[in-house]
Structure 1
Amino acid sequence: MRQNVLIIGPFPGPPKGISLSNEVVANGLSKRGWNVKKINTELSDAVNSAIGDFSFEKLSFLKTYFQSYKIFTADAVYITIGITFFGVVKYAPFIILAKILNKKTLLHLHSNHLKKEYQSLHGIKKALFFKLIASFDTGIVLSNSLRDNLTPFIAEDSVCELYNFVEDKLLLSEKIVLQQKDFSAIRLFFLSNLLEEKGINLLLKVIKRLNEEGLFLEVKIAGNKIKDNNVDALLAELSNVAYLGIVSGTIKQDLLIWGNVFCLPTFFSMEGQPISILEAMAFNSLIITTKHAGIPDICSEENAIFCIEKSEEDLYSKLKYAISNWEELQKKAIANGAYARLRFTETKFISTLESIILETIRK
């Protein structure tokens, strides 16, 4: 008999890792014979840094509750919940109805912020937040270092780890990538929403400093511009930096083949385990990033250079180091391809998730 799963969370939409993940989950489980239904909680195409802030625009979320009838036929309800008080509470009607109907529930957390949010709350808000999260049968985190976001609410043995993935449709064979990739000099790229907390402002300032010293790296920046973090003036000053806008499909593949050093100096408060890092590794790039959130679970000194969060000076010194030692460091870049393709596959992601859902249904 076909199992029925309901996925509640954001779907594309805006270019966010969580939306991509939900789409892959829906398609992957459908291909494996599951009857998949969805409730899309993404109601805006905008991306901004005011995550978790209340706005009347967000009241439009109320219309998603009209789809709650889909819970009645589900064997499992899989929710990629928010990570702020409002982001959790807005899912309350779905969670409560699922529990009333005795449905098995799974929470998939894509961030390292939930525990901090809980600690910041008081009184009724804190109690409600706890009650909602604790009502889930199973919790899923991206990696080991993120477990303590859920273990205050859900029993340790009911919290599972599930690494992010690189989409099958994005990948090319390693042979093709290495044939087309140029390692003769550093080709630096950034691929993420252009939030200040993702480190884009720091990176552009460092590139400007390098230019002033006569060090002109080839640089490409891709991602969604953010209304409240205008980097146009910085970009305009840098003749060696190309801004590509939002990239997908073959244009994204071309960028991943073109680049050989991926820089994401993130200190994003809602960070989990950036898919963009996995994608860059799978396309044989060296990683320059921070030891932030779940990143140390997918990167080590073996395949990455770590810089200090929020430090322009340290990022500058790490890029100077990469330039001076590029011949040696490109070996790490090449080795990243095999490492990522073996460990972070879409097939492994869906297989593991399917096992977790089936185990939850059997409980």
Structure 2
Amino acid sequence: MLNQSKNIFNSGKTIFSAVMDGKVTGQINTARFLLKILGENIDESRLVLLEQPEKSKMFFFNWVKYLANFAKTSYFNNIKCVYIVANRTRKSFWFRDLFPLTLAYFSGAKLFYHIVGNDFRDFIDSLSAFERKFFFILVSKNTCTFVVLGSRMEDEVNDTISTCCPLSFEKEFIHLPAFISNGSIDGSKEFFESAKINSTITLGFMSNLIPEKGFNYFLEACTLFLRNHPDCQVWIAGPKFVDGHYELLDELVDQKRITYYPYLDGDRKWQVLSKTDIFALPTFYKAEYLPLSILDAMLCGCYVISCDTGDISKYIYEFNGALVDKESVTSIFNQFEKFLGASQAYDRNKIRDFVVDSFAEAKYRETLSVVWLT
């Protein structure tokens, strides 16, 4: 528990606003965990959830309910804090984030603006000059605390504000990196194989199957690798999207050269990752910062191959992975071959211990206490 005498969240009402339901993403997982921790440390009567509507066929109906809840919330007295897990698109600003931002503005509450994706500049650029000024008016009335994933994101937000904001205002930053839940640590441990690495190599990929995640570059590199090492096992997991380019994926699946999982979660995810040697995510997605799938892979002892995107390079060392060139089949293939030649040197226990020590839930909670007591 937090020090209640210092906890400003218990000096008045706290409004927590985020999308809580829908397709599970890093943003939704973050929002759920934040609400859980707030609920553990704030009197129930002081915590109000202003749940934002998820993208679905029922969006309009849920949005009307959201407006009704906003209207009800706006009559509350003594609102001290408004915490928003930001959506960062022009449409979401008008249909979701505008309302809690308005609450913070008119109540004089302390504003926490939590940015989960590395796309704040893209969001600001998508706004018209009027919308941009309106947004910064809302966040600048009181000192705004930007909650970001790390130093690179802080630099991006600062640079964006300095070049795009027509106003000067006081702001603070708190770094709140990704985390691995205690449930994930315990669940993965059940299937963890410390001696998995051997001459028969297994390659894997897990993410949304959009071009910027690099899945086609992974598949092309795997095709080359399979020519030299036909006993190699390959799997790829992630949902497909309309107008995606899945010709190569479908061909390899039809030929039974790779295994495709539309979704991997729960025990099945840990089982598959624990039998994997190399996990590759050669992402060049602009909004990427630190994909949770990379942390899941390291938790299972996988050697990780990725790109210098977002904050990924900060956590890739010689003992646990390698960085490859963006949009380069050759670079990925070469790392596959390099790993095979030195696979016995990699310690799955060391890889798992590193990610547990760096991203344990307890460490995240400790950082959260700084947020709550600011």
The TM-score with structure 2 as length reference comes to 0.82
Q: Contact 2:140–2:170 at 8 Å: present in 1 too?
A: no
**Is 1:196 aligned with 2:211?**
yes
Name the CA distance, whole Å, in 2 between partners of 1:34 and 1:345: 26
2:332 to 290, 299, 315: 315
Q: Contact 2:212–2:283 at 8 Å: present in 1 too?
A: yes
- SS for the counterpart of 1:169 is helix
Specify the code of the residue in structure 1 equivalent to 2:106: I
**Is 1:76 aligned with 2:87?**
no
Name the CA distance, whole Å, in 2 between partners of 1:338 and 1:99: 44
Q: 1:347 to 1:155 in 2, by over 3 A?
A: farther
Q: Contact 2:105–2:138 at 8 Å: present in 1 too?
A: no
Name the CA distance, whole Å, in 1 between partners of 2:145 and 2:231: 50
Q: Contact 1:109–1:141 at 8 Å: present in 2 too?
A: yes
Q: 1:176 to 1:200 in 2, by over 3 A?
A: same
Name the CA distance, whole Å, in 2 between partners of 1:130 and 1:339: 39
User: What is the Cα deviation at residue 44 of structure 1?
Assistant: 2.7
- State the superposition RMSD in angstroms: 3.0
User: What is the Cα deviation at residue 357 of structure 1?
Assistant: 2.5
- Equivalences for residues 123-142 of structure 1 within 5 A: 123-135=129-141, 137-142=144-149
**Is 1:182 aligned with 2:196?**
yes
Higher mean displacement: 16-25 or 124-133: 124-133
Name the CA distance, whole Å, in 1 between partners of 2:350 and 2:60: 44
Q: Report which of the two structures shows the higher radius of gyration computed on alpha carbons.
A: 2
Identify the residue that residue 64 of structure 1 maps to in structure 2.
66
**Is 1:275 aligned with 2:292?**
yes
User: What is the Cα deviation at residue 121 of structure 1?
Assistant: 5.2
Unaligned runs of 5+ in 2: 162-167
Identify the residue that residue 174 of structure 2 maps to in structure 1.
160
Name the CA distance, whole Å, in 1 between partners of 2:100 and 2:203: 44
Cα displacement string for residues 5-24 of structure 1 (whole angstroms, at most 9, x for unaligned residues): 33212223212111111111
Name the CA distance, whole Å, in 1 between partners of 2:131 and 2:239: 33
Name the CA distance, whole Å, in 1 between partners of 2:320 and 2:170: 30
Unaligned runs of 5+ in 1: 47-55
Q: Contact 2:89–2:123 at 8 Å: present in 1 too?
A: yes
- SS for the counterpart of 2:133 is helix
Identify the residue that residue 30 of structure 2 maps to in structure 1.
21
2:365 to 322, 328, 350: 350
Name the CA distance, whole Å, in 2 between partners of 1:320 and 1:156: 51
Identify the residue that residue 39 of structure 1 maps to in structure 2.
50
Identify the residue that residue 251 of structure 2 maps to in structure 1.
236
User: What is the Cα deviation at residue 174 of structure 1?
Assistant: 8.1
Name the CA distance, whole Å, in 2 between partners of 1:146 and 1:300: 21
Q: 1:12 to 1:168 in 2, by over 3 A?
A: farther
- Equivalences for residues 321-332 of structure 1 within 5 A: 321-328=338-345, 330-331=346-347
Q: 1:182 to 1:61 in 2, by over 3 A?
A: same
User: What is the Cα deviation at residue 142 of structure 1?
Assistant: 0.5
Q: 1:302 to 1:341 in 2, by over 3 A?
A: same
Specify the code of the residue in structure 2 equivalent to 1:43: E
User: What is the Cα deviation at residue 115 of structure 1?
Assistant: 2.2
Name the CA distance, whole Å, in 1 between partners of 2:113 and 2:292: 19
The TM-score with structure 1 as length reference comes to 0.84
Identify the residue that residue 49 of structure 1 maps to in structure 2.
none
1:211 to 223, 226, 231: 226
Aligned residues: 348
User: What is the Cα deviation at residue 307 of structure 1?
Assistant: 0.9
Cα displacement string for residues 209-249 of structure 1 (whole angstroms, at most 9, x for unaligned residues): 22244444212222222223152652332423211221222
- SS for the counterpart of 2:184 is coil
Q: 1:29 to 1:62 in 2, by over 3 A?
A: same
Specify the code of the residue in structure 2 equivalent to 1:261: I
**Is 1:108 aligned with 2:106?**
no
Q: 1:61 to 1:201 in 2, by over 3 A?
A: farther
Cα displacement string for residues 223-276 of structure 1 (whole angstroms, at most 9, x for unaligned residues): 222223152652332423211221222122222322232111111122122111
Percent sequence identity is: 21
Identify the residue that residue 39 of structure 2 maps to in structure 1.
30
